[in-house]
Amino acid sequence: MLEKCLKSLLVLAFSLFLTVFANHAFAQGDGQKPHAQKEEGKLNMKEVIFGHIMDAHEFHFFSIHHTDGTETAISIPLPVMLYSPQKGFSFFMASKFEEGKEEVDGYKLVGNKIVPVEDGVKVYDFSFTRNVVQMLLALTLLVWIMVSIAKKYKSGQGVTSAPKGMQALLEPVVAFVRDEVAVPNLGYKANKYLPYLLTIFFFILINNIIGLIPGTANVTGNIAFTVVLGVISFIVTLASSNKHYWAHIFNPPGVPLGVKFILVPVEFLSMFLKPFSLIIRLFANMVAGHIIIICLISLIFIFGEKMGAGAGWGASPLSIAFTIFIYFIEVLVAFLQAFIFTVLTAVLIGGAIEGDHSHDSHDSHDKKHDQLYDDAVII
């Protein structure tokens, strides 16, 4: 009974934390412009960097500067959906704001945030920003790939014959996650949690890869995205926990009583810090890689601005070479971060489901563990 109460209280506390924190996390891009701009003819690196990694109401690719001082933005505007108790519903495309120069239905665009022109007007923004749109596209792509592969397995391809196409590409990955992540950490319960582990692995991987395409959003570099993934892993861990897990936290075995007064708070705090480390690790790594690439490309324009056009052209080969090198490293990081998040999630769940260490439980664990390696890969 006490175990169930603790689970419920912790889930409630973390849910309240997510609700409060999400309002700040989703406002991550507030105050930043969606693409590079200049102030008084100078390159503003802050806007260049944050305009790329933050959220926006459009997919901006580049701008064409004309001789008369105007510019044409090449972008894909996204729909804006607003509700105000005073003004009702408003629906229009983000292009009507004209990069924040125009007001639409009593609203204006300040950075990436839509605010009412009149004081005292409350507005609720339900717009599809580029992070949301890209995340939905990634989810659609994931479902389409997995469902199409599953249909091939049901038809017998890959079971009575060799896998082909996408099957042949993904089956080794699925087997790797099962044999090197799920089974070593979860033992005979690996198949129970394998669908969840495969989902987070491929979902993070797809978003990481798409985010490397120029003009797309850096979804995994958004703290709101990683917070939700970390909270879900935390809730799954709590839901899977047993009495041995809570006993090791509140009454560590083999520890002197005096030490328990120090160790128990540390263990209890670490229960929250572990999912927090998942959140920060994925977020920081994906943001850092994009910032490095932007900075390397920007060196061309910085040299050209400070030392003349010749210096800019001279720095171009070296800057582009380093950018390509870092870009390929980022492809590796995209796979690596998806793998690390999945492994650490499996480790957290494995620690929560670990039972007693009796001889009988080990024998039954080993038998079920060995059977997993004989199972066919099923998606």
* pLDDT band, residue 42 (cuts 50/70/90): low
Q: What's the pLDDT score for residue 207?
A: 93
**Residue 176 domain-assigned?**
yes
**Residue 221 domain-assigned?**
yes
* Averaged pLDDT score across all residues of the chain: 79
Residues contacting 250, CB < 8 A, separation 6+: 264, 267, 268
Domain count, the chain: 1
Q: In the chain, what percentage of residues exceed pLDDT 70?
A: 81
**Residue 112 domain-assigned?**
no
- Structural domain boundaries enclosing 154: 2-30+129-372
Q: What's the pLDDT score for residue 349?
A: 92
* pLDDT band, residue 43 (cuts 50/70/90): low
Residues contacting 331, CB < 8 A, separation 6+: 209, 212
The whole-angstrom distance between residue 29's C-alpha and the CA centroid of its chain comes to: 15
What does the alpha-carbon distance between residue 148 and residue 163 come to, in Å, rounded to a whole number? 13
Comparing 256 with 229, the larger pLDDT belongs to 229
Comparing 1-15, 94-108, 345-359, the range with the smallest average pLDDT is 1-15
**Residue 49 domain-assigned?**
no
Comparing 6-10, 61-65, 330-334, 348-352, the range with the smallest average pLDDT is 6-10
**Residue 114 domain-assigned?**
no
Q: What's the pLDDT score for residue 376?
A: 44
**Residue 88 domain-assigned?**
no
Q: What's the pLDDT score for residue 123?
A: 87
**Residue 141 domain-assigned?**
yes
**Residue 379 domain-assigned?**
no
